[in-house]
């Protein structure tokens, strides 16, 4: 899959494609249905498929402190789009210049001049352009004028409820990981590289891997049983994700993972953490001794959870 960053990097060989536009946060089953249709249309027309995404996501640009928590980092999103068979991703920097494009200018600069779109797949509630003035009806008129086709993507529902990134966040917030997996088509997971931290876990008899999050907000907070994908193997563990109120911190969310019965150096490695069950909310403790006792209890609870699960290190969870 080819990644093109910005309109300025589009070349003549990038013109002529079928495209879709959106955040694709989490690349859930609703997104997967759009991508399946995109592949089908690309094969019919004999042109590449292209997904147009934005960094930051529009709501993060307008209100970074109140924007929805991200389900996936850009790197994970790109990996899932590639796995879905997408040929090309155009990643547009959402900045003041892009925000001020009118709907007509967006169609002309991005879809017509930039991509030479032959066919466009979007949701029937898709809005774009300055002040979100463009909608599906506007696109339909532009398509007739510019010589491309546009189709509204079918809504995917599970138990009568539309699959959406918002619904996934709600499932995660309520600790319903089974439903989140049903919506996503995969277990919820967070990937990142292990960084050097404060080494506090060693003092608390529970060494942890401090995983870089690289996102403004995360959809989870608390202590969870997790499994960690490490060099093709799955490893049981317990994780804390949150702002660490019991220690001096920077106010940002952190992900710290303790692998059960593991010894080895994880610094610099990229880990994938799969979330299975919530043990408790994040708490503030009055002393390090109280924090140590809570962590010890969390590890015991995680062991009890995994004792009820058949676990094979070589092949993962069964």
Bridge partner list, 59: none
* 18 and 148, same domain (yes or no): yes
SS3 202: helix
Task: Give the structural domain span for 98.
Answer: 2-162
Q: Is there a domain that residue 314 lies in?
A: no
* 158 and 195, same domain (yes or no): no
| Domain stop point among 127, 162, 197 | 162
* 139 and 31, same domain (yes or no): yes
* 107 and 218, same domain (yes or no): no
pLDDT tens series, the chain, 318 aa: 999 999 999 999 999 999 999 999 999 999 999 999 999 999 999 999 999 999 999 888 888 888 999 999 999 999 999 999 999 999 999 999 999 999 999 999 999 999 999 999 998 778 888 888 888 999 999 999 999 999 998 889 998 889 999 999 999 999 999 999 999 999 999 998 888 765 555 545 567 888 888 765 789 999 999 999 877 778 999 999 987 655 555 567 889 999 998 888 888 888 999 999 999 998 777 677 787 888 889 999 999 998 877 554 444 454
Q: Is there a domain that residue 169 lies in?
A: no
Beta strands in 196-296 (DSSP E): 209-211, 222-230, 233-242, 254-259, 270-280
Question: Would you state the pLDDT for residue 183?
Answer: 97
* 7 and 138, same domain (yes or no): yes
* 79 and 194, same domain (yes or no): no
* 142 and 221, same domain (yes or no): no
> Which residue, chain included where needed, has tokens 């593991």?
262
> Cβ contacts of residue 167 below 8 Å, gap of 6+?
161, 183
Could you tell me which of 220, 242, 216, 167 has the C-alpha nearest to residue 62? 216
CATH of the domain at 60: 3.40.50.620
For residues 167 and 208, give the distance between their C-alpha atoms in angstroms, rounded to a whole number: 31
For residues 305 and 311, give the distance between their C-alpha atoms in angstroms, rounded to a whole number: 11
Q: Is there a domain that residue 241 lies in?
A: yes
CATH of the domain at 299: 2.40.30.30
> Which residue, chain included where needed, has tokens 């043990």?
279
* 157 and 57, same domain (yes or no): yes
* 242 and 115, same domain (yes or no): no
Q: Is there a domain that residue 52 lies in?
A: yes
Q: How many helices (H) and strands (E) does the chain have?
A: 10, 16
Token reading at 118? 């032959």
Token reading at 18? 């079928």
* 194 and 152, same domain (yes or no): no
* 265 and 229, same domain (yes or no): yes
Q: Within the chain, what is the greatest distance between any pair of CA atoms? A: 70
Q: Is there a domain that residue 76 lies in?
A: yes
Q: Is there a domain that residue 182 lies in?
A: no
Give me the number of domains the chain comprises: 2
SS3 283: coil
């Amino acid at each position: 899959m080819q990644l093109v960053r910005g309109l300025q990097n589009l070349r003549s060989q990038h013109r002529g494609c079928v495209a879709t536009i959106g955040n694709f946060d989490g690349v859930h089953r609703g997104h997967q249905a759009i991508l399946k249709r995109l592949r089908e249309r690309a094969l019919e027309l004999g042109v590449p498929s292209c997904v147009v995404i934005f960094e930051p996501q529009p709501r993060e640009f307008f209100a970074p402190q109140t924007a929805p928590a991200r389900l996936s980092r850009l790197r994970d999103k790109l990996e899932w789009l590639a796995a879905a068979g997408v040929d090309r991703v155009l990643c547009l920097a959402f900045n003041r210049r892009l925000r001020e494009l009118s709907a007509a200018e967006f169609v002309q600069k991005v879809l017509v001049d930039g991509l030479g779109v032959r066919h466009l797949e979007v949701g029937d509630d898709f809005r774009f352009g300055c002040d979100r003035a463009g909608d599906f009806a506007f696109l339909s008129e532009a398509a007739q004028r510019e010589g491309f086709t546009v189709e509204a993507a079918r809504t995917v529902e599970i138990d009568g409820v539309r699959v959406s990134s918002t619904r996934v966040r709600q499932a995660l917030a309520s600790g319903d990981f089974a439903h989140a997996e049903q919506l996503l088509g995969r277990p919820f997971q967070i990937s990142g590289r292990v960084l050097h931290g404060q080494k506090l876990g060693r003092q608390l008899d529970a060494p942890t891997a401090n995983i870089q999050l690289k996102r403004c907000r995360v959809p989870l907070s608390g202590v969870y049983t997790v499994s960690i994908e490490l060099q093709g193997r799955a490893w049981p563990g317990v994780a804390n994700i949150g702002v660490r109120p019991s220690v001096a911190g920077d106010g940002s969310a952190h992900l710290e993972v303790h692998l059960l019965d593991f010894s080895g150096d994880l610094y610099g490695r990229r880990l994938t953490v799969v979330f299975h069950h919530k043990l408790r909310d994040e708490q503030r403790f009055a002393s390090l001794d109280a924090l140590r006792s809570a962590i010890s209890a969390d590890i015991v609870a995680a062991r009890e959870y995994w004792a009820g699960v058949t676990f094979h290190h070589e092949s993962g969870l069964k």
